């Protein structure tokens, strides 16, 4: 109210002053307007520089925030030399991130590593991304990461070439993969009954050239098989066909057969780590090679087994028969050979026992046999045609019997024999689970009895006395060799040989002179005859010279015969013959 009254009074005074000026004849003065100071006068330019700095810093922070890459968490079993702020993340030896944190997981048994990655790799952080720690590794299959001894461990990242749904949490690999994604080639899975000497990193061979490696070894879901994940590099993957056979190699493979002993060495590396090889028969290479990953193959135990399997298909229960045998089937095992005319045409798939229904009866064993039609020359045959063909053979006299496979081990096999003289029979298709073939009695029991008798007779031999006699003989021989007389025997033999050599030399000299001697005797006999022609037959000198001439002729003939004998048989002088 006071301010309002003051303003009113000021207005009244100004009006009064104006009125007095008009009454005195003076014009009123011009109004005077006073302006306040400008903004530039109130604000100093010195404040613009800090303001610009703040704006620039805010822009840099915003730019850094918007441009920074994603933060991911990777769980490892162990830290493996990873440290906060120092350890880098690499892809193809290029840094793509850095470790920001390392801490224990909630379960306190693993390690969670926080990694800040570059923005450009964010689209590839999907389910196919893999992380692993790279450090020095020296074992039987590889020597790698030696550079980390100086530079320290780092985390390697690998992804495929196609972006996917982004993830922020990963489980790190405990071991680095042997083959990076994007490497051209083929990935396959092999299954075997046992792992053997094949490990992660074991080589894969084609014609003794290393073309791939084993990347993983694991058990199947039901733990009945061992699975090997292998990678075959390009361009060798074009040699893999649907019918390719894979087999294990242990470095050295030996074989003894009718053509002698052979030794095959696949690779020196396979001696230490084992390995896998594969090959293709000529008829398979006419097919189209495998184009995609993931196909499963059986891993055979040896090269011979793989080649033998070329005639086998997969176990197809459509081509199974069974047979019932009475009595003891000891020695018959699953996998035993089924033979026909001496050739393997199948195997024993299963053996079961049926208890006797009445006392005094024998139990019966049911043997399921898996046949391979290819081994009988029957390819792509239907089940109906297969049964018809086999039934015709049975009606013609084909029968099943047990036979001894190995006398020493007592193993049994199943044989099919054609016996046309037997009564006609046919396959019983009413039996379950497979049709039943007719059987005949075997001589297994008789052979077993003979073997047992042979072993019994061998056990009754007086082995102790034979060993004692042999020991005494060896002792006597040792004493004879150690005696002084035996030591002098070589010298005596050498002296005798020297004498024989001297005699042979004299005989040789005499043999050379024998022809001259014979000629002389012949000439003397001829001269005696000339002298006798001039003498009277009744004279005493004629009679003596005639007798001498006859003796000379006899001597010459004897010496000539002796010389001829020595020429044909020089040893006659020593042997008398």
Give 264-318 as a DSSP string.
Answer: EE--HHHHHH-EEEEE--TTGGGSPPP-SS--EEEEESSHHHHHHGGG--S--GG
Distance CA 252, CA 250 (A): 6
Residues 358 and 438 grouped into a single domain: yes
Residues 336 and 221 grouped into a single domain: no
37: helix, strand or coil: coil
Please report whether residue 178 resides in a domain. Answer: no
Residues 325 and 290 grouped into a single domain: no
Last residue of a domain, one of 289, 311, 333: 311
In this predicted structure, what is the pLDDT of residue 2?
A: 47
Number of domains in the chain: 4
Q: Which of 15-19, 162-166, 356-360, 517-521 has the lowest mean pLDDT?
A: 15-19
pLDDT tens, residue by residue, 282-330: 777 777 888 888 899 999 888 878 877 766 656 778 889 999 888 778 8
In this predicted structure, what is the pLDDT of residue 258?
A: 45
Please report whether residue 44 resides in a domain. Answer: no
Phi-psi region of 509 (alpha: psi -120 to 50; beta: other; left: phi over 0): alpha
pLDDT tens, residue by residue, 403-461: 887 766 778 889 998 888 888 888 999 988 899 999 988 766 555 665 666 666 666 66
- In this structure, the strands spanning 111-117 and 130-134 are unpaired
Complete edge-to-edge strand list for the sheet that includes strand 398-406: 320-326, 364-371, 343-354, 337-340, 411-418, 398-406
Please report whether residue 208 resides in a domain. Answer: yes
* Rg (alpha carbons) of the chain, rounded to whole number: 56
Residues 306 and 344 grouped into a single domain: no
Please report whether residue 28 resides in a domain. Answer: no
Model confidence at 525, pLDDT cuts 50, 70, 90, reads: low
116: helix, strand or coil: strand
pLDDT tens, residue by residue, 539-556: 566 666 666 667 666 766
Mean residue pLDDT of the chain comes to 76
Q: How far is CA 32 from CA 29, 35, 536, in A?
A: 9, 10, 216
Q: 288 is written with which tokens?
A: 């189209």
Contact 444, 413 (CB under 8 A): no
Please report whether residue 283 resides in a domain. Answer: yes
**Residue among 179, 296, 159, 175 nearest 234 (CA):** 179
**Residue among 263, 235, 236 nearest 249 (CA):** 263
Distance CA 281, CA 299 (A): 16
Domain span at residue 438 reads 317-442
| Per-position b or e across 13-35, b if 16+ CB within 10 A of its CB | eeeeeeeeeeeeeeeeeeeeeee
**Residue among 60, 61, 156, 166 nearest 119 (CA):** 166
Distance CA 416, CA 338 (A): 8
In this predicted structure, what is the pLDDT of residue 241?
A: 92
């Amino acid at each position: 109210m006071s301010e309002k009254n003051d303003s009113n009074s000021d207005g009244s005074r100004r009006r009064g002053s104006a009125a007095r000026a008009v009454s005195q004849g003076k014009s009123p003065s011009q109004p005077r307007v006073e302006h306040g100071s400008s903004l530039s006068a109130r604000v100093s330019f010195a404040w613009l520089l800090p303001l610009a700095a703040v704006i620039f810093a805010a822009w840099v922070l915003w730019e850094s925030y918007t441009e920074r890459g994603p933060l991911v968490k990777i769980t490892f079993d162990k830290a493996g030399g990873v440290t906060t702020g120092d350890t880098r993340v690499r892809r193809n030896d290029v840094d793509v991130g850095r470790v920001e944190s390392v801490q224990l997981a909630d379960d306190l048994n693993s390690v969670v590593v926080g990694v800040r990655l570059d923005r450009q790799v964010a689209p590839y952080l999907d389910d196919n991304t893999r992380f692993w720690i790279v450090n020095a590794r020296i074992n039987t299959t590889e020597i790698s990461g030696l550079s980390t001894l100086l530079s320290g461990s780092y985390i390697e990242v690998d992804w495929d070439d196609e972006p996917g749904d982004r993830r922020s949490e990963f489980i790190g690999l405990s071991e680095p993969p042997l083959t990076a994604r994007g490497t051209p080639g083929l990935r396959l899975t092999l299954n075997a009954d046992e792992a053997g000497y094949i490990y992660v990193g074991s080589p894969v061979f084609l014609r003794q050239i290393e073309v791939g490696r084993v990347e993983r070894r694991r058990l199947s879901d039901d733990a009945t098989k061992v699975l090997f994940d292998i990678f075959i590099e390009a361009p060798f993957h074009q040699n893999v066909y649907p019918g390719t056979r894979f087999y294990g190699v242990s470095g050295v493979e030996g074989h003894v057969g009718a053509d002698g002993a052979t030794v095959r060495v696949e690779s020196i590396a396979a001696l230490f780590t084992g390995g896998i090889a594969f090959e293709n028969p000529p008829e398979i290479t006419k097919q189209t090679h495998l184009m995609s990953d993931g196909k499963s193959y059986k891993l055979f135990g040896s090269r011979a087994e793989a080649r033998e399997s070329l005639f086998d298909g997969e176990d197809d229960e459509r081509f199974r028969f069974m047979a019932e045998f009475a009595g003891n089937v000891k020695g018959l095992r699953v996998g035993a050979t089924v033979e026909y005319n001496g050739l393997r045409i199948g195997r024993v798939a299963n053996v079961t026992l049926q208890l006797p229904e009445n006392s005094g009866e024998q139990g019966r064993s049911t043997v399921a046999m898996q046949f391979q039609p290819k081994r009988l020359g029957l390819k792509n045959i239907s089940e109906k045609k297969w049964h018809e063909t086999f039934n015709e053979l049975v009606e013609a006299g084909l029968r099943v019997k047990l036979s001894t496979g190995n006398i020493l081990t007592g193993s049994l096999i199943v044989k099919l024999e054609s016996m046309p003289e037997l009564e006609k029979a046919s396959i019983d298709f009413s039996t379950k689970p497979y049709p039943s073939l007719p059987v005949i009695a075997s001589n297994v029991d008789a052979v077993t009895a003979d073997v047992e008798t042979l072993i019994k007779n061998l056990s009754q031999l007086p082995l102790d006395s034979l060993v004692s006699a042999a020991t005494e003989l060896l002792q006597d021989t040792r004493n004879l060799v150690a005696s002084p007389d035996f030591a002098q025997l070589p010298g005596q033999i050498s002296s005798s040989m020297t004498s024989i050599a001297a005699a042979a030399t004299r005989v040789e000299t005499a043999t050379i002179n024998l022809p001259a001697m014979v000629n002389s005797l012949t000439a003397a006999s001829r001269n005696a005859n000339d002298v006798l022609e001039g003498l009277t037959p009744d004279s005493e000198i004629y009679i003596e010279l005639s007798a001498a001439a006859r003796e000379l002729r006899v001597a010459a003939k004897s010496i000539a015969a002796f010389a001829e004998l020595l020429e044909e048989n020089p040893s006659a002088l020593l042997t008398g013959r």
